[in-house]
Structure 1
């Protein structure tokens, strides 16, 4: 097998493509031949030693992938060789093969393509857990999605619309706003033409008729958080999903009092670990929605696995719409 190896987590340039022994699965593991792997923001942080999870060196990055089971270890009953699966295991995806925990592998319906399967779990699980579980989104409510043209943002638009909500999508270019409208967004806000903080707040006010959004889905953080939260509706729920812009914002807590609003943390990974049965039900529902055509990952582009460093560079340029996927 071959894989991109991180021997020193000082950044993308230190990754090397190496031939490694093909491992055999131990108890509870499966050997997966990787067909496609998606690039997520944590995949950048982990090779820079900036992610909360710090794997033992050396390691193969690539948190999310899809492929075919080649062999199963002792105790694995629900998977068999030749079965197609998707997995989000944190590492191992940027190569030709990997050992995956069987418990984290989702058997794939025939309708799934490899590329869609590799781009599916993180964005839809995060967005469903945020909107449907943590925010208890109801039909007829208004959702403001920040960073709406990214992976989790595009998933949030689709899930919110499928749940009967009105969606306002905020993105940084006219092209990204057009993508959001094509996914069903009812209104869009271009950050560049409605600058922070006043222009952005005015645009939110106009888009909601002065009421403010009932739910704010924020994977961006930074300077967007406070003006967005100041715009929230009475009894609104502000979903803290991530901090793609870099800085972690500090919000004046009196705003929660004035709006009767809630700050709600979203940590899907720990939800899956702590509440595995609820997570399994959620993933089953999401797979059903995919088969029914209600949701589908937005793929920015699929690139050969050999072009991983170029994919990282494209992600860093902030030009990605949806997900980048590497294919073998």
Structure 2
């Protein structure tokens, strides 16, 4: 184990689900929220060789991040470049990791294909826009309102759909249909996207922020040769951890090259962690909300 002085903790929609006991990996209470952190190693446990004290690291701990210090398994720590901000590192692991695994490892997104991203201004959705753009796809971003759509446009979206006022299915079909659908929303938006898919499209249910888990008609999958691919990023740590570590290495390289740049809409002190969670619940944030325990 290592002890980390936590400089930044990224909040996620899963933290809200944990509060309700609805997340697939909700720990046994009592526990401390905060799944991903960045900070400095300040102590090593018995029989732990490293990372060395003083190392700058990012850690996916699954819990324990909303604190000034936390103890985490040493093999979960990823060394950070000296010039990488803690806020960026705390914002990168889950959101970018999920989108990169989904689009690269699972869907095999190809240059020139059309990627439809639902919830495109949220924590994971915005990273899917950015990564899809970096992979050479034509990106259609779907979000509610002009302000959020502008955030998606700046992240690399080629086309914008306002989910509050436009017909998603008709707009996507008019743009040539979707080859890959990235969906952290669920509900009616998934149903509309499903009906706008091209033959052999791949659909990625990432989450259900709408609260509605859609039921998928298997006969439609058959007729259009569609593939639905579930993805739970944290699950790979249990049975195929090298997939996650390889992905994170790629993302850190992309960050160093300037190909991706985490968007942090709010950075708050630990005393305002509740306000940060409310920003997620009310969907008033874009990109990531980060808590700084030592501010």
**TM-score normalised according to structure 1 size:** 0.87
Do structure 1's residue 290 and structure 2's residue 258 form an aligned pair? no
Residue deviations 1:7-56, cap 9 Å, x none?
A: xxxxxxxxxxxxxxxxxxxxxx1011111111101111112222222323
Query: Are positions 1:59 and 2:27 aligned together?
Result: no
Residue 95 (structure 2) aligns with: 123
Q: How does 1:130-279 map to 2 (within 5 A)?
A: 130-194=102-166, 199-208=167-176, 212-279=177-244
For residues 246 and 221 of structure 1, the distance between their equivalents in structure 2, rounded to whole angstroms, comes to 7
Deviation at 1:189, TM superposition (A): 0.3
**Residue 114 of structure 1 pairs with residue 93 of structure 2:** no
- Secondary structure class of the residue paired with 2:266: strand
Which moved further from structure 2: 138-147 or 308-317?
308-317
CA contact (8 A) 1:222 1:246 kept: yes
CA–CA distance in 1 between the matches of 2:48 and 2:256? 26
How many residue pairs are counted as aligned between the two chains? 293
Match of 1:93 in 2: 65
CA distance in 2, matches of 1:108, 1:66: 9
C-alpha separation between the residues in 2 aligned to 1:124 and 1:141? 20
Alpha-carbon distance, 1:312 to partner: 1.5
Query: After the TM superposition, which parts of structure 1 deviate over 4 Å for at least 4 consecutive aligned residues?
Result: none
In the TM superposition, what is the alpha-carbon distance from 1:163 to its structure 2 partner? 0.8
What's the secondary structure of 2:267's corresponding residue? strand
Post-superposition shift, 1:78?
A: 3.7
Specify the SS of the correspondent of 1:137.
coil
8 Å CA contact retained: 1:302, 1:324: yes
* 1:77 Cα offset (Å): 2.6
User: 8 Å contact 1:219–1:242 — kept in the other structure?
Assistant: yes
The question of whether the paired residues in 2 share the 8 Å contact of 1:229 and 1:255 is answered with no
Kept after mapping to 1: 8 A contact 2:44/2:50: no
Question: What is the rounded CA distance, in whole Å, between the counterparts of 1:92 and 1:231 in structure 2?
Answer: 41
8 Å CA contact 1:37–1:66 kept in 2: the answer is yes
What SS does structure 1 have at the residue aligned with 2:229?
strand
Match of 1:302 in 2: 267
Shift of 1:276: 1.7
Partner of 2:279: 314
Matched-pair contact (CA < 8 Å) for 2:58–2:79: yes
Counterparts of 1:9-24 in structure 2, within 5 Å, are: none
**For residues 176 and 306 of structure 1, what CA distance do their matches in structure 2 show?**
27
Flag structure 2 segments of 5+ consecutive residues without an equivalent: none
Q: Please give the secondary structure, in 2, of the residue aligned with 1:214.
A: strand
**In 2, Cα distance between equivalents of 1:207 and 1:111:** 40
Offset of residue 245 of structure 1: 0.9
Residues 125-153 of structure 1: CA deviation (Å, up to 9, x unaligned): 10011000100111111100000001111
Any idea what the Cα deviations from partners look like across 1:73-106, whole Å, max 9, x if unmatched?
1332340111111111111000101111111111
8 Å contact from structure 1 (residues 31, 70) kept in 2: yes
3-state SS, counterpart of residue 268 of structure 2: strand
Normalized against structure 2, the TM-score is what? Answer: 0.97
Root mean square deviation of aligned Cα? 1.1
